[in-house]
């Protein structure tokens, strides 16, 4: 029943994205706009129900910019908790695992959803500092001028979509988005990075450990692997991680592996054996025991039943 409910939710999102409606006006809603040509796609939605798809851990396969101008949300992005304040911008990137814990009743937002092909065609350098900053800081608070800049971008995008007789509308959308990213992204993310106070060495070590973990958790579940990569002893690494994050190194490893497993169990039709193989467990039985040790239920029980806290 849980899988059926998820399929219905995802179907609802895609159906919402297919609608082409009246020109975008900031004070009106709900509205959706879509540009689509040979797999290149950009969608604008102003229905907060979109967040319901994140009621369970879900791995994102699109780029999603969420501009919140009223209300707040509590969510985790790759296990890191965020509680937003209005107005703000949240940018979700492909590969991130997102779970939404709370949405306020007055929450109002605009969602800009970009397909993988659309973002690939933007050709934004992966080493561009704003891109790296967004990976580390997906949530930023906005001031009034930043909010107005975002509204202007949305209006220009809407005008572009409205002129569907122009054969270059997709190219216009591409360059508007690219210019917005380099300009707006720089102003928010680079300036924010420059204002960050120098971090203690142990905090930097925790960040390096978590970066390594994000890269290798599907292949390596041993503390020894991460300690070796950081030129530390497993005992010292465990001590630093526990003292500075409140969670043991092994706990972080378990959390990443289990979060990925939950996302795959809830949002894909992969078999438990396939999920076990994807996470590089020696057998389905070993994966089942690992999952049950952490979650107090088997993978099949989690898939059938609900959500754990």
- The pLDDT value given to residue 283: 95
125-177 per-position pLDDT tens digit: 654 555 556 777 888 888 888 888 878 887 887 777 667 677 888 788 888 88
- The pLDDT value given to residue 55: 83
CA angle 41–45–135, rounded 5-degree value:
70
Residue 223 has pLDDT above 80, yes or no: yes
Q: Which residue has the higher pLDDT, 306 or 206?
A: 206
Own/partner contacts of 87-90, CB < 8 Å, gap of 24 or more, are 87/141, 87/142, 87/147, 88/139, 88/140, 88/141, 88/142, 89/65, 89/139, 89/140, 89/142, 89/146, 89/150, 89/188, 90/65, 90/66, 90/138, 90/139
Domains delineated in the chain? 2-195 (2.60.120), 201-304 (1.10.10.60)
The whole-angstrom separation of Cα 238 and Cα 147 is 42
Average per-residue pLDDT for the chain:
78
Share of the chain above pLDDT 90, in %: 28
65 and 185 Cβ atoms separated by less than 8 Å: no
At 28, is the pLDDT very low, low, confident or very high (cuts 50, 70, 90)? Answer: very low
Residue 247 has pLDDT above 60, yes or no: yes
Q: For the residues 241-267, what does the mean pLDDT come to?
A: 91
- The pLDDT value given to residue 281: 96
212-222 per-position pLDDT tens digit: 998 899 999 99
- B/e letters for 259-284, b = 16+ CB within 10 Å, e = fewer, are bbbbbbbbbeeeebeebbeebebeeb
- The pLDDT value given to residue 26: 30
Mean pLDDT check: name the lowest of 67-71, 153-157, 225-229: 153-157
At 230, is the pLDDT very low, low, confident or very high (cuts 50, 70, 90)? Answer: very high
At 185, is the pLDDT very low, low, confident or very high (cuts 50, 70, 90)? Answer: low
Mean pLDDT check: name the lowest of 241-245, 264-268, 283-287: 264-268
The whole-angstrom separation of Cα 45 and Cα 27 is 14
Q: For the residues 77-104, what does the mean pLDDT come to?
A: 88
Q: For the residues 4-23, what does the mean pLDDT come to?
A: 39
pTM of the model: 0.70
- The pLDDT value given to residue 35: 58
Residue 249 has pLDDT above 60, yes or no: yes
- The pLDDT value given to residue 133: 67
Mean pLDDT check: name the lowest of 10-14, 160-164, 222-226, 270-274: 10-14
At 14, is the pLDDT very low, low, confident or very high (cuts 50, 70, 90)? Answer: very low
Per-residue 3-state assignment (H helix, E strand, C coil) for the chain: CHHHHHHHHHHHHHHHHHCCCCCCCCCCCCCEEEEEECCEEEEEECCHHHHHHHCCCEECCCEEEEEEEECCEEEEECCEEEECCCCEEEEECCCCEEEEEEECCCCEEEEEEECHHHHHHHCCCCCCHHHHHHHHCCEEECCHHHHHHHHHHHHHHHHHHHCCCCCCHHHHHHHHHHHHHHHHHHHHHHHHHHHCCCCCHHHHHHHHHHHHHHHHCCCCCCHHHHHHHCCCCHHHHHHHHHHHHCCCHHHHHHHHHHHHHHHHHHHCCCCHHHHHHHCCCCCHHHHHHHHHHHHCCCHHHHHHCCCCC
Q: For the residues 245-249, what does the mean pLDDT come to?
A: 90
The whole-angstrom separation of Cα 129 and Cα 210 is 19
Nearest Cα neighbor of 192 from 226, 232, 146, 246 is 146
- The pLDDT value given to residue 15: 44
- The pLDDT value given to residue 254: 94
- The pLDDT value given to residue 158: 74
- The pLDDT value given to residue 3: 47
At 188, is the pLDDT very low, low, confident or very high (cuts 50, 70, 90)? Answer: low
Specify which residues 70 forms β-bridges with: 108
- The pLDDT value given to residue 125: 62
């Amino acid at each position: 029943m849980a899988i059926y409910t998820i399929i219905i939710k995802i179907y609802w999102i895609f159906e919402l994205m297919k609608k082409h409606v009246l020109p975008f006006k900031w004070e009106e809603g709900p509205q959706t706009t879509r540009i689509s040509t040979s797999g290149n796609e950009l969608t604008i939605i102003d229905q907060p129900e979109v967040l319901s798809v994140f009621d369970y851990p879900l791995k994102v396969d699109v780029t999603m910019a969420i501009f919140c101008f009223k209300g707040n949300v509590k969510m985790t992005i790759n296990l890191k908790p965020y509680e937003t304040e209005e107005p703000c911008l949240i940018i979700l990137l492909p590969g991130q695992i997102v779970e939404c814990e709370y949405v306020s009743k007055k929450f109002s937002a605009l969602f800009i959803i970009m397909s993988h092909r659309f973002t690939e065609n933007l050709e934004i350098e992966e080493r561009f500092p704003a891109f790296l900053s967004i990976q580390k800081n997906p949530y930023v608070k906005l001031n009034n001028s930043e909010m107005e800049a975002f509204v202007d971008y949305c209006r220009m995008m809407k005008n572009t979509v409205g002129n569907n007789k122009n054969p270059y509308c997709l190219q216009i959308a591409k360059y508007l988005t690219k210019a917005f990213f380099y300009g707006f992204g720089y102003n928010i993310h680079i300036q924010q990075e420059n204002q960050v106070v120098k971090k203690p060495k142990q905090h930097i070590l925790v960040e390096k450990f978590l970066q390594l973990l994000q890269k290798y958790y599907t292949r390596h579940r041993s503390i020894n692997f991460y300690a070796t990569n950081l030129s530390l002893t497993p005992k010292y690494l465990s001590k630093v991680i526990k003292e500075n994050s409140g969670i043991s190194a092994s706990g972080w490893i378990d959390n990443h592996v289990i979060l990925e497993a939950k996302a795959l169990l809830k949002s894909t039709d992969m078999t438990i054996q396939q999920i076990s193989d994807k996470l590089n467990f020696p057998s389905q039985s070993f994966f089942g025991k690992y999952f049950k040790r952490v979650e107090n239920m088997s993978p099949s029980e989690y898939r059938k039943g609900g959500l754990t806290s």
